[in-house]
């Protein structure tokens, strides 16, 4: 069986290669185990040197990698370049986070009169599987791979079957950086390969993707509690606008449009539900619709550059259109195909006030409007989801934001900023269907190594002072 990567913007073939079999997964795991032993014993400075060489390799190939990402995902060239910058930035962030979150320390053991010390060190898990998504095919798996290698692990990496070329290219950059053979193996394939990798005898799995897949992985790992499982899943993210000043309408409209439609809505932090005060929302709504109508939608290398490109493929586009139609409600802007046979979609906005809509992540350029009477109703609407990734408030004062922050059930909570404005030097993750309390970004170091507490003395020194005859 082969894996084929199709350029979303024109339907042409970009890359083709064989899918890994269960036997390939087992063989790669055996090789990784052998390589990981020496890697874990190597001085941390040596591992960091390789990681920094990888950053240099990415920087030297930044334009080539950006073009590949743009071709494979359909995202605008400018946005692919920002993804490559994030890949490079992850190196220094991960080095600093490893030192802070999983460093070593020692101190006198006060309970011992003989001069023993207590020490804290961290060990790598061993061999970790990484399952990557298609929307950020370099940056998001890179956010697992870099800290895991720094910690001393080996990696079995399955890119999304929709973006295999980027995964293969990343592996080539690691090889160029001098990463020893066996420490990073790319296993191309679809769901069957993913299941085989999850079932393999690895020491854990680091996942970024949809909630249904993450939940299936959690069930698969239920009888193996000793294996680490880090899940970064999607969101049904609310954006609440309240007590907005007249002079802030244009800025608020820009925040809404960026929150909902950046990356053609294919970010897990994109706003899916816009919550507005009824009878006070018309000027803002007019500004949002006017800005939506101005968005350029085009192929990745168009000049001038577009705001958004296509969604990942035609199947995704068809499913989004069908799900939008099933919502009902009042269509303020329809989500339409721009070109027959290609997955370019216009941004859509549907007023679903008063309707019972599915609590799902609609992973594309579609925003649902909910109008409410008061702020308690706004908070109830914001939290009416099993997801808990991102939430944002636009407007109000500090007291209102403090209330919003306290009552929001999300791992990323912003004020007067888009829902998709997360920082790489902070923890990133959610609760409920959005994650399992294993946040990534700055806290990725936490799930890439495990703490070992020790009490240590140069010589044995102990007497039994009680209970003797």
3-state SS of 122-186 is EEECCEEEEECCCCCCCHHHHHHHHHHHHHCCEEEEECCCCCHHHHHHHHHHHHHCCCCCCCEEE
pLDDT-derived band at 228 (thresholds 50, 70, 90) equals very high
Does 259 score more than 80 pLDDT? yes
Bigger pLDDT: 15 vs 459: 15
Which sign does the torsion angle of CA 132, 134, 138, 143 carry?
A: negative
Does 115 score more than 80 pLDDT? no
Half-sphere exposure of 260 (CA within 13 A, CB side): 29
Query: Rounded CA gap, 314 and 340, in Å?
Result: 10
What is the mean predicted confidence (pLDDT) over 161-178? 98
The first and second tokens of residue 110, run together, are 């006060």
Half-sphere exposure of 355 (CA within 13 A, CB side): 16
What is the mean predicted confidence (pLDDT) over 172-195? 96
Considering the chain, what is the average pLDDT of its residues?
Answer: 96
User: Contact 157/132 with Cβ under 8 angstroms?
Assistant: yes
Query: Rounded CA gap, 198 and 215, in Å?
Result: 13
What is the mean predicted confidence (pLDDT) over 271-284? 94
Q: Hunting for tokens 């085989």 — which residue is that?
A: 196
Q: ∠ CA 96-423-9 to the nearest 5 degrees?
A: 115
For residue range 411-433, what is the model confidence (pLDDT) as tens digits? 999 999 999 978 888 999 999 99
Residue 116: per-residue pLDDT: 86
Residue 423: per-residue pLDDT: 83
User: Contact 139/422 with Cβ under 8 angstroms?
Assistant: no
Q: ∠ CA 448-449-454 to the nearest 5 degrees?
A: 170
Active site residues: 232, 268
Angle between helices 211-220 and 191-199 (to 10 degrees): 30
pTM of the model: 0.95
The first and second tokens of residue 173, run together, are 């950059």
Q: 41-55, 115-129, 200-214, 451-465: lowest mean pLDDT where?
A: 451-465
Consecutive H or E run containing 453 = strand 449-456
User: Contact 210/235 with Cβ under 8 angstroms?
Assistant: no
User: Contact 334/289 with Cβ under 8 angstroms?
Assistant: no
For residue range 68-103, what is the model confidence (pLDDT) as tens digits? 999 999 999 999 999 999 999 999 999 999 999 998
Residue 307: per-residue pLDDT: 98
Task: Provide CB contacts within 8 A for 7, sequence distance 6+.
Answer: 13, 14, 71, 72, 74
Residue 78: per-residue pLDDT: 98
Going from N- to C-terminal start, the domains of the chain cover 2-233+435-455, 237-415
Query: Rounded CA gap, 180 and 461, in Å?
Result: 43
Residue 106: per-residue pLDDT: 85
Query: Three-state SS string across 353-395, please?
Result: CCCCCCCCCCCCCEEEEEEECCHHHHHHHHCCCCCCCEEEEEC
Question: Which residues share a beta bridge with 449?
Answer: 124
pLDDT-derived band at 64 (thresholds 50, 70, 90) equals very high
Does 342 score more than 90 pLDDT? yes
Q: Is 415 exposed, middle or buried (0-12, 13-18, 19+ CB in 10 A)?
A: middle
Helix boundaries (H) for 159-270: 164-176, 191-199, 211-220, 249-261
CATH fold label, 2-233+435-455: Aldehyde Dehydrogenase; Chain A, domain 1 (3.40.605)
Does 113 score more than 80 pLDDT? no
Distances (CA, A) of 270 to 20, 110, 161: 33, 50, 23
Task: Provide CB contacts within 8 A for 80, sequence distance 6+.
Answer: 66, 67, 69, 70, 73, 300
What is the mean predicted confidence (pLDDT) over 233-237? 97
DSSP 3-state assignment of 64?
Answer: helix
Residue 107: per-residue pLDDT: 86
Residue 404: per-residue pLDDT: 98
CATH fold label, 237-415: Aldehyde Dehydrogenase; Chain A, domain 2 (3.40.309)
- State the pairing for strand pair 204-208/2-6: unpaired
Task: Provide CB contacts within 8 A for 437, sequence distance 6+.
Answer: 429, 431
Residue 294: per-residue pLDDT: 98
């Amino acid at each position: 069986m082969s894996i084929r990567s199709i350029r979303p913007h024109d339907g042409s073939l970009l890359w083709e290669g064989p899918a890994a079999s269960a036997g390939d997964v087992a063989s790669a795991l055996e090789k990784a185990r052998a390589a990981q032993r020496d890697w874990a014993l190597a001085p941390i400075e040596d591992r960091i040197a390789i990681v920094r060489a990888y950053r240099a390799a990415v920087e030297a190939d930044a334009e080539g990698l950006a073009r590949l990402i743009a071709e494979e995902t359909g995202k605008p060239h400018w946005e692919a370049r920002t993804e490559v910058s994030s890949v490079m930035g992850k190196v220094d962030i991960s080095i600093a986070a490893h030192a802070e979150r999983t460093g070593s320390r020692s101190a006198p053991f006060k309970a011992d009169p003989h001069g023993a010390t207590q020490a804290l060190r961290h060990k790598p898990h061993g061999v970790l599987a990484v399952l990557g998504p298609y929307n950020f095919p370099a940056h998001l798996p890179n956010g697992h791979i870099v800290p895991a290698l720094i910690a001393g692990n080996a990696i079995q990496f399955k890119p999304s079957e929709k973006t295999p070329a980027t995964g293969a290219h990343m592996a080539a950059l690691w090889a160029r950086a001098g990463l020893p053979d066996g420490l990073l193996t790319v296993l191309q394939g679809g769901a069957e390969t993913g299941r085989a990798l999850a079932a393999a005898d690895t020491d854990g799995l680091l996942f970024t993707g949809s909630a249904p897949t993450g939940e299936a992985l959690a069930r698969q790992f239920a009888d193996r509690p000793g294996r680490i499982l880090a899940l970064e899943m999607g969101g049904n993210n609310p954006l609440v606008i309240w007590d907005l000043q007249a002079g802030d309408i244009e800025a608020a409209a820009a925040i809404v449009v960026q929150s909902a439609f950046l990356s053609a809505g294919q970010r897990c932090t994109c706003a899916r539900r816009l919550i507005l005060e009824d009878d006070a929302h018309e000027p803002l709504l007019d500004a949002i619709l006017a800005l939506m109508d101005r968005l350029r939608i085009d192929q990745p290398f168009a000049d001038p550059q577009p705001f958004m490109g296509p969604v990942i493929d035609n199947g995704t586009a068809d499913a989004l259109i069908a799900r939008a139609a099933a919502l009902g409600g009042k269509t303020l802007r329809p989500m339409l195909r721009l070109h027959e046979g290609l997955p370019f979609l216009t941004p859509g906005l549907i007023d679903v006030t008063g309707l019972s809509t599915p609590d799902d992540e609609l992973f594309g350029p579609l925003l649902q409007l909910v109008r409410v009477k008061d702020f308690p109703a706004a908070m109830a609407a914001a939290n009416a989801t099993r997801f808990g990734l991102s939430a944002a408030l636009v407007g109000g004062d500090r007291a209102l934001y403090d209330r919003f922050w306290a009552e929001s059930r999300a791992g990323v909570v912003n004020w007067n900023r888009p829902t998709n404005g997360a920082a790489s030097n902070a923890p990133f993750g959610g609760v409920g269907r959005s994650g399992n309390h294993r946040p990534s970004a700055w806290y990725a170091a936490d799930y890439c190594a495990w703490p070992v507490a020790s009490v240590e003395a140069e010589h044995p020194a102990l007497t039994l002072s009680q209970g003797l005859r």
